[in-house]
Structures are given as C-alpha cells and as structure tokens.
Amino acid sequence: MKRVYICAVIAMMAITVGCGGNSEKKNEKDAMACNIERPATLDEALASSTREVELRALLESTPEAERGDMEYLIINMMSSDRDNMDLELLKENVEYAHKARTKYPWAQALPEDVYQRDVLPFHVVDEVRDPWRKELYELFAPAVDTCTTMYDAVCAVNANIPRLTGVDYNTKREKTNQSPRESMRQGMASCTGLSILLVDAYRSVGIPARFVGTASWHDNRGNHSWTEVWLDGEWRVTEYYFPSQLDHLWFMADASKATVDDRTYAIYAVRFGAADDWFPMVWADGDVEGKPIEELPRNYGAENVTQHYIDLAYDQYTRHLEAGTHTFLRIAGYKQQGKTEHSEDRVAMGVDVFRGTEQMGGGLTAGEHRDMNDIFSVLLPKNTEYELRYYTLDEELHTMTVALGEEPVTVEIYQQ
C-alpha cells in the first residue's frame, strides 16, 4: 500500500571577563581582544552614555515593577545600543516581556537570572533592532494560551511559526542576519535569520531561548545556526520546523565532530551581557563566509558549548561509528534531475530503506524550506546492500538499490 507522508512543520570601571575556548594557538592579541566589557553599576552605565539625561528620564517613567528589568538592560547592553537605539523600542520591550512573565506559569517560575539574560533582551546578535516583541507576542500568545507546561508552549511555537510569520527557509533571502521584521517582510530567511526569529518568538511568550551556532562544520562546508530553549533547568536543542524533536536534530552527527579548542570548528551559544568568550559571526562585514576567525567582530558574548554537543551525539551516532560497524546513507530529494543547486529545487519525498524484507529506516528528504546542509540520513550497518522505495509525482513506486560500503554514500532521488 502506498504510504502517505506528512511533514509536521510543527557592557570608567568595567566588569572584564576572561576568554575561554581557545587552543594553545591563541596569541596574546587574541586573548586580550576577546574580553567583553560592561559597566559595573547603573550610574556608571548612565554616565558613560551620550544620552544620560534621556536614559534617566526613561527610568523614571518606567513602572516600578519593570524598573529592575530596564536597569539590567541599560547596564548590560552594548554601548552603541545605549547611545543610539530607539528608547521607545526599549520601553515596549520591557513592557511586553513583563506582560508575558506575569501571564504564563512557566515564565513566573523562571530564576531571575535566566529570565533577564534569556527572555528580556531586545536583540539576539547583530541584527537590526526591530520593535518585534509586541508584534510576536500578539502572534504567538493565542497559540500558547492553552498550554500548561513550558514544553507544550515550545511545541506550540514551533508548530505554528511558519504559518504565523509567513517565513520559510530560502537561500534567496536579502542577507544572513535578518531581523524578525526583515524576514517577515520577505517571507524568507537563512538558518541565521530563522534562528533569530525563533529565539524572539520563544522570548515573546516567556520561554528562555538563545542563539547557537558554529563558524564551520568539520568538513568546511560552511556555518550553521540554530536555537536552544531552557527547559526544566537544562538547555535543549531545537530548530525551525522541529516541533518536538528536542536534542535530536539532523546536524547532530556533524556536531559530534566539532572541536572544543578550535574557534573555527567549535560550537557557541550567544550570551547577553558579561560572558567568558565571544561569538564568531562569520556573516559580518559584507556577509563574506570564509573570513579569518581572528578578523571577525568580537562584540557579542558567548559560551563554548561544544563538549555538550559531543556528549549529546554520542549515543545517537558516535558509539556506532567508533565501533566501526555503521556509516551513513544520505538521501537528497529533488523535483527533477539536473536541477539541484538551489533550495527551491529540493522536495520532501517519503522514502523507506530496506535490507531485504526488513525496514531499516525511513522518513522525508529535506524540502525547499530546509537548510541546504540538511540531508536526510540513516545510520546503517556497513558493507550491505539496501533498497530505497519511494513514490514519484505520478504515484508510481520506484526502487533503487544502493551498495553501502565502508564510507558514507549520498544518493539523489527525483520526484519526476
């Protein structure tokens, strides 16, 4: 019987922090340059700004219940934001963050430091400072209002975000680090733009979230960005389009090969305010991938989380690979043969993998809205012959025999 597949798109005096996450290759210049500085007190932050009078007036007009949050942001924001950003945006950001915190039980239960660092911030990385919080709150509040747990709310955001924002993955987006409004205006974004949008969507309804990424995968095929949510005291991995598959993402096999002490291949989570390290934004200064890591801007704090991903991927992949018994069969689906260069050429096709009469795996190939590095993969025993079964556009069952040897194999299947 034909199987039907449904893709569920479900910071004068300053606090100076050290620089971690580098190998012995790190030189003195690099060590000095990666310190992230922030004023130590509110008075110092205000005195350091060209808009001290305006900021003090903003604080005086802020409701008492929200004043602590406003003070936190003024102290911990970048000096460029303190001097230049729209203060009405800042006011709205604090107001609606407070609204979500007082409304939802999961937000009420958050530790103060988690709420301030991972819900309250008005930006994720270096995107344009948009007044996104009210807009996204009004979009997503109806989707989570009936949720009783943070996990349910996480799933509700993920399941509804493409429909509510109208944004899908597309390599034709205007730039990498798009703000929510930029992405929503175009209806498209890269993995970086999607991650910024997802982080902000979570934060709009009181869910702690942060931006995570690597400057390059181990095989030098480029950077990738994704999202983490803080759930039950732990950071869990998710991504646009994945409603409930926490910690089980398509890139986990690549993440297992990340290098803790090499900034190019390490994995970092962005931190607002003081941090131990800095985030390598490979899209900065003209969106030029391949720019030497040491030349990238060092403005945004980060935490090196590489080891966490290596550990996370061990049971999923590494133990089998270490044993030398398994390798990957990767399957890419395209609309038609000869057109395989752009995201719009790809199509989600249902495919099953059999060894004889035993089904070894199955699922959907990555469609046009998924990251270009995302290829459906099945970890299988080596030196075995497998059969792929899939239906074409004309509803005909096609089969393909694949001989999997010692090394990974990538095959293409076509809808027509």
- What pLDDT sits at residue 359? 72
**155-173 burial string, b = 16+ CB within 10 Å, else e?**
bbbbbbbbebbebbbbeeb
**42 in a domain, yes or no?**
yes
What's the CATH code of the domain at 362?
Answer: 2.60.40.2190
Of the residues 315, 347, 372, the one at which a domain ends: 315
pLDDT band at 357 (very low <50, low <70, confident <90, very high): confident
Q: Residue length, the chain?
A: 416
183 and 228 together in one domain: yes
- What pLDDT sits at residue 316? 81
- What pLDDT sits at residue 194? 95
Q: How many domains does the chain fold into?
A: 2
The single-letter code of the amino acid at 169 is: Y
- Cα angle 55-59-63, degrees, rounded to a multiple of 5: 155
pLDDT band at 285 (very low <50, low <70, confident <90, very high): low
pLDDT band at 283 (very low <50, low <70, confident <90, very high): confident
Of the residues 315, 343, 373, the one at which a domain ends: 315
Q: Is the pLDDT of residue 51 over 90?
A: yes
89 and 205 together in one domain: yes
**9 in a domain, yes or no?**
no
138 and 209 together in one domain: yes
**Interstrand relation of 301-304 and 267-270 (parallel, antiparallel or unpaired):** antiparallel
User: Using one digit for the tens of pLDDT, what is the confidence trace for 391-403?
Assistant: 888 888 899 999 9
- What average pLDDT does range 150-160 have in this prediction? 95
Residue 68 near residue 108 (C-beta atoms within 8 A): no
- Mark residue 286 as left, alpha or beta (left: phi above 0; alpha: psi -120 to 50; beta: remaining): left
- What pLDDT sits at residue 215? 93
310 and 372 together in one domain: no
**219 in a domain, yes or no?**
yes
- Domain range for 148 is 14-315
Q: Is the pLDDT of residue 81 over 70?
A: yes
196 and 297 together in one domain: yes
- What pLDDT sits at residue 374? 86
Residue 263 near residue 21 (C-beta atoms within 8 A): yes
234 and 369 together in one domain: no
Q: Is the pLDDT of residue 248 over 50?
A: yes
Q: What's the mean pLDDT when you consider all of the chain?
A: 87
Q: Is the pLDDT of residue 411 over 90?
A: yes
337 and 383 together in one domain: yes
**4 in a domain, yes or no?**
no
102 and 245 together in one domain: yes
71 and 114 together in one domain: yes
User: Using one digit for the tens of pLDDT, what is the confidence trace for 113-142?
Assistant: 999 999 999 999 999 999 999 999 999 999
331 and 311 together in one domain: no
- What pLDDT sits at residue 232? 93
**338 in a domain, yes or no?**
yes
User: Using one digit for the tens of pLDDT, what is the confidence trace for 165-207?
Assistant: 999 888 789 999 999 999 999 999 999 999 999 999 999 999 9
What DSSP string runs through 198-245? HHHHHHHTT--EEEEEES--TTSS--EEEEEEEETTEEEEE-TT-SS-
- What pLDDT sits at residue 34? 53
- What average pLDDT does range 236-251 have in this prediction? 83
- What pLDDT sits at residue 201? 98
Q: Is the pLDDT of residue 33 over 50?
A: no
- What pLDDT sits at residue 13? 27
User: Using one digit for the tens of pLDDT, what is the confidence trace for 301-329?
Assistant: 999 999 999 999 888 888 888 899 999 99
- What average pLDDT does range 333-350 have in this prediction? 90
- What average pLDDT does range 290-311 have in this prediction? 87
Distance separating alpha carbons of residues 362 and 400, to the nearest angstrom: 14
**357 in a domain, yes or no?**
yes
- What pLDDT sits at residue 80? 94
- What pLDDT sits at residue 84? 96
- What pLDDT sits at residue 25? 38
351 and 219 together in one domain: no
Q: Is the pLDDT of residue 18 over 60?
A: no
Chain centre to alpha carbon of residue 322 = 28
**1 in a domain, yes or no?**
no
Distance separating alpha carbons of residues 194 and 240, to the nearest angstrom: 6
Q: Is the pLDDT of residue 372 over 50?
A: yes
The residues, ordered by sequence, that sit 6+ positions from 316 with a Cβ below 8 Å of its Cβ are: 248, 252, 253, 256
84 and 20 together in one domain: yes
Of the residues 291, 315, 339, the one at which a domain ends: 315
- Best-predicted range by mean pLDDT (103-107, 364-368, 389-393): 103-107
Query: By C-alpha distance, which of 3, 31, 2, 6 is closest to 16?
Result: 31
Q: Is the pLDDT of residue 70 over 90?
A: yes
**286 in a domain, yes or no?**
yes
